[in-house]
């Protein structure tokens, strides 16, 4: 009967002697999660796939630097989030478009699907006006389902601080959404 090694045990046991085996096992465990994280941030399947490959190349090159200060999954998630954020920030610098230039929608009959899309659009606009750290906390908690404890470890914050920041960010979203909806 074989037992599945934890990520940390596998790194300790196989990285020195069989780095390719170690990396392959970790890749298989986490490729889908990293891809979903990238997809949730980019909203583009091709970019998400490219980012996922780039992230795993970074991880492979840095695997020996993993020091177990957090779990491997938290470390990998941190690299994934930071890489995607950096790429998105870089893309925004290179391509500036004004959201305000879009025309108003004057549709006599609003279908539920259009209403849902418009609501998502307004929420995304409200999210974009938050700081990167506020967006990160909300996405970690509500898109990725990460626990308060895991988020506090990831950002090296107290749990109460994470809860407070989540509440303030949610409040900002509600307020901004209300303003955008009224406009």
Hey, what domains does the chain have and what are their CATH numbers?
Answer: 1-97 (1.10.1740.10), 104-183 (1.10.10.10)
- d(C-alpha 90, C-alpha 92), whole Å: 5
Reported pTM: 0.53
Residue-wise pLDDT for 104-140, tens only, equals: 545 445 456 666 666 667 667 777 777 888 888 888 8
Amino acid 8: pLDDT: 85
Look-up of token digits 């509500």? 142
pLDDT beyond 90 at 55:
yes
Closest to 81 measured CA to CA, from 39, 46, 123: 39
pLDDT recorded at residue 34: 94
């Amino acid at each position: 009967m074989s037992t599945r090694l934890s990520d940390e045990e596998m790194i300790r046991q196989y990285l020195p002697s069989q780095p390719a085996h170690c990396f392959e096992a970790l890749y298989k465990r986490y490729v889908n999660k990293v891809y979903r994280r990238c997809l949730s941030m980019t909203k583009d399947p091709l970019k998400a796939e490219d980012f996922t490959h780039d992230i795993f190349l970074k991880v492979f090159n840095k695997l020996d630097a993993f020091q177990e200060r957090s779990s491997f999954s938290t470390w990998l998630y941190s690299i994934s989030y930071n890489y995607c954020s950096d790429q998105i920030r870089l893309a925004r610098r290179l391509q500036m478009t004004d959201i305000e230039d879009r025309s108003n929608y004057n549709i006599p009959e609003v279908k539920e699907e259009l209403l849902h899309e418009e609501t998502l659009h307004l929420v995304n606009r409200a999210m974009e006006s938050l700081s990167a750290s506020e967006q990160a906390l909300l996405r970690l908690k509500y898109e990725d389902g990460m626990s308060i404890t895991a988020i506090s470890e990831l950002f090296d914050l107290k749990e109460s601080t994470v809860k407070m920041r989540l509440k303030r960010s949610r409040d900002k979203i509600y307020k901004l959404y209300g303003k955008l909806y009224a406009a």
